[in-house]
Each structure stands twice: as C-alpha cells, then as structure tokens.
Amino acid sequence: MKPTLDGLFERATTFPDIDAKERLANLVGLDDQIARLSKILGLLINPSSLLQWAKTHHPQAAVLVDTVLRRPPLVVLAGDVGSGKTELAETIGDAVAREQRVSLTLLPLSLASRGDGRVGQMTQLISAAFDAAAEHATRYKSTGKTSGGVILLVDEADALAQSRESAQMHHEDRAGVNAFIRGIDRLANGRLPAAVIMCTNRLTALDPAIRRRAADVMTFGRPDDLQRTFVLQTRLAPLGFKATDIAALVATTGSRHENGAGFTFSDLTQRLIPAIVLDAYPDNAITASRALDIARSMSATPPFLDGHEFVRV
C-alpha cells in the first residue's frame, strides 16, 4: 500500500513564518551554520541569483557556475543529540524565503517514528516522500520564474543512513538508501527548486554514497562556556541571578572531569531550566542556590558513541 500524503509528513510549514523566525533567532552559536545553509538553500531554490552574480563579476564563468548549480541538492546536519539540528532544519526556510522573496514549503519526514519493519516500507516511504517533494517543486517551477521551493527534511535519518558496507545491514535498509539516492538524483536532474536536509546523530554511519552527494556536511556540537552563559543568563538574570550565580551554573554544567562532556543545549533548555522552575512551583520562588543544587544533581547526556570512534564535533 502506498503511504498517503497525510500520513507521510508531519505538519508541513509554509515560509515566511513568524514562529519559525523567532525559533531561528533563538538558536545560539549557530551563525556559521545558518549563513552557510541559507546560502546553499537559496541557490538551490533560486539559481538565477547566482547567474546574476556571475553576470556582474565573472561574465566568462558559465562552466564555473554550472559546476556549482549541478551539485546534488542535499545538505547533511550531523552531530550530538540536542545541538539544534532539528530546530535549525525546521526554521531555516524562513530566512531563505525572506532573503529570496519567495515562498517555501517544508515537508518534514521523520524516519524514527515511521516504518513498522514491514518489507518494503522504508523504500516506499522514501520514494513517496521524494514524489511529493518533486510534485510540489514542479508546481513552483511551472509558473515561469521561480516563485518558491520545497525543503524535504529527513530527520533522524540514522536508520536510513546506515552504511551499505555494514555487514549487519538488512537488505531492506539497503533498498532505502538506494531509494534515497535515486530521489536526490531525480531532484537534481530535474533542476527542481527543491533541497533535502538530512539530520543524523551518527555521521560516520552515514552511507558513503549519500555522504559523497552532500553539497555540504555541517557539524553541531555542545555549547561552550560562553554559549551556556548566554542561554542561562537570558533566562535567569531577569529573576535576579547575579553574574557569580550564572558563572557557578556555567561551571557546573560544563565538563566535570577530564574528557567528560558538558551539558548539551537541550540539557539546558529542556531539562535543567524546567527542573529549576518545577522545583519552585507552585509554592516558592526560584533561588540561585537551589538552582545550583539541581544543576549539580543532573548529569549531561552522554556523548553519542559513533561506532568505536568518539566523534568530536
């Protein structure tokens, strides 16, 4: 049975979108990734802007421009859990839509919550997702000048991304990888205003054939002292936390022993901060000393062990 479009994607978003704009603005320490990703997506969706640039600066550069425009429309976001991959992938379309003055549709496919293991499921799912993306993108293209584009988000792609070389890999997974590669090539060959963002926690497990096709692989890491300071300060300083209180929290949420990992972004925003609030609520006010106790009692999410190799991102 072919999956229906409704069941295929989580809520589709159309950009510009004010909520996405705010979420994107709240991401800390990702300026470089944001700049690179929006540039790549902007070119994939609106290649005429690169042609315009070439006309101005390098009128003889047709081959050069063609080389760039023929890159497969795939960007991989890789790195630790809770480092902002999903958040960025879900919201970057807003920046691109505003810069390019077009409308963008995000089609988010989550593989983690999909596929019940039936033979052929993964392959069908992926093929259907690319069909839908291509159909959408064709609609944008057919109006003459590019009026918009599509971002297909393949989140938590670890299941799919498994290396085909891995001995344990089930035949079905291999077929999923092949369907994915076919889909990418199809978007590229059709020169459709569409791009694929793939998120994975395990870069080294990514199939070499997929990795080779990526126009860019961006890595995401844990927040450093300055970034943790920023995240904690924006939330706790308004409550009267002093600089020394914040500094103590920053130290506690950092690496506590040699080679130990500090808190992830999501450890801070989804575990520590809510724990501090819920500890005080409903009868007490939040205090710095209580907050510090809570931080001390929590430990950081263990780094993802990528095969036998510890991947520092």
Which residues lie near Mg ion (CB under 5 A)?
86
Cα–Cα dist 79/126, whole Å:
23
**Least separation in angstroms between CB 74 and ligand ADP:** 18
Q: Choosing among ligand ADP, Mg ion, none, which partner's interface includes residue 241 (Cβ < 5 to 8 Å by kind)? A: none
User: CB under 8 Å to 18, separation ≥6 — which residues?
Assistant: none
- For residues 113 and 259, which CB has a smaller minimum distance to Mg ion in the complex? 113
- For residues 76 and 249, which CB has a smaller minimum distance to Mg ion in the complex? 76
Binding ligand ADP by CB under 6 A: which of 8, 30, 109, 133? 30
Block residue for tokens 């054939």: 209
Q: Which amino acid is at 40?
A: I
Q: Which of 278, 292, 280 is nearest to 246 (CA)?
A: 292
The answer to whether residue 86 forms part of the interface with ligand ADP (CB under 6 A) is yes
Cα–Cα dist 231/229, whole Å:
6
Decide: helix, strand or coil at residue 297: helix
The answer to whether residue 178 forms part of the interface with ligand ADP (CB under 6 A) is no
Q: Choosing among Mg ion, ligand ADP, none, which partner's interface includes residue 84 (Cβ < 5 to 8 Å by kind)? A: ligand ADP
The alpha-helical segments, DSSP class H, found in the chain are: 5-8, 18-25, 31-45, 48-57, 62-69, 85-100, 121-141, 158-161, 171-189, 208-213, 225-236, 243-252, 265-266, 273-280, 288-297
Q: By CB under 6 A, how many residues form the interface with ligand ADP?
A: 18
Q: Choosing among Mg ion, ligand ADP, none, which partner's interface includes residue 72 (Cβ < 5 to 8 Å by kind)? A: none
Stretch that binds ligand ADP, among 83-91, 122-130, 184-192, 299-307 (CB under 6 A): 83-91
- For residues 86 and 252, which CB has a smaller minimum distance to Mg ion in the complex? 86
Decide: helix, strand or coil at residue 77: strand
The answer to whether residue 5 forms part of the interface with ligand ADP (CB under 6 A) is no
Stretch that binds ligand ADP, among 14-22, 189-197, 265-273, 276-284 (CB under 6 A): 265-273
- For residues 86 and 91, which CB has a smaller minimum distance to Mg ion in the complex? 86
Question: How many other CB atoms are there within 10 angstroms of residue 106's CB atom?
Answer: 25
The answer to whether residue 270 forms part of the interface with ligand ADP (CB under 6 A) is yes
Instruction: At 200, list the tokens.
Output: 């994975």
Stretch that binds ligand ADP, among 80-88, 104-112, 189-197, 253-261 (CB under 6 A): 80-88
Instruction: At 77, list the tokens.
Output: 């976001």
Burial of 280 (0-12, 13-18, 19+ CB in 10 A): middle
Paired with 109 in beta bridges are 154
Binding ligand ADP by CB under 6 A: which of 65, 81, 209, 275? 81
Block residue for tokens 């710095």: 288
Q: Which of 305, 194, 265 is nearest to 30 (CA)?
A: 265
The answer to whether residue 269 forms part of the interface with ligand ADP (CB under 6 A) is yes
- For residues 49 and 110, which CB has a smaller minimum distance to Mg ion in the complex? 110
The answer to whether residue 15 forms part of the interface with ligand ADP (CB under 6 A) is no
- For residues 86 and 105, which CB has a smaller minimum distance to ligand ADP in the complex? 86
**Least separation in angstroms between CB 216 and ligand ADP:** 17
Paired with 281 in beta bridges are none
**Least separation in angstroms between CB 241 and ligand ADP:** 18
The answer to whether residue 91 forms part of the interface with ligand ADP (CB under 6 A) is no
| Interacting residues toward ligand ADP by CB under 6 A | 26-30, 81-87, 199, 220, 265-266, 269-270
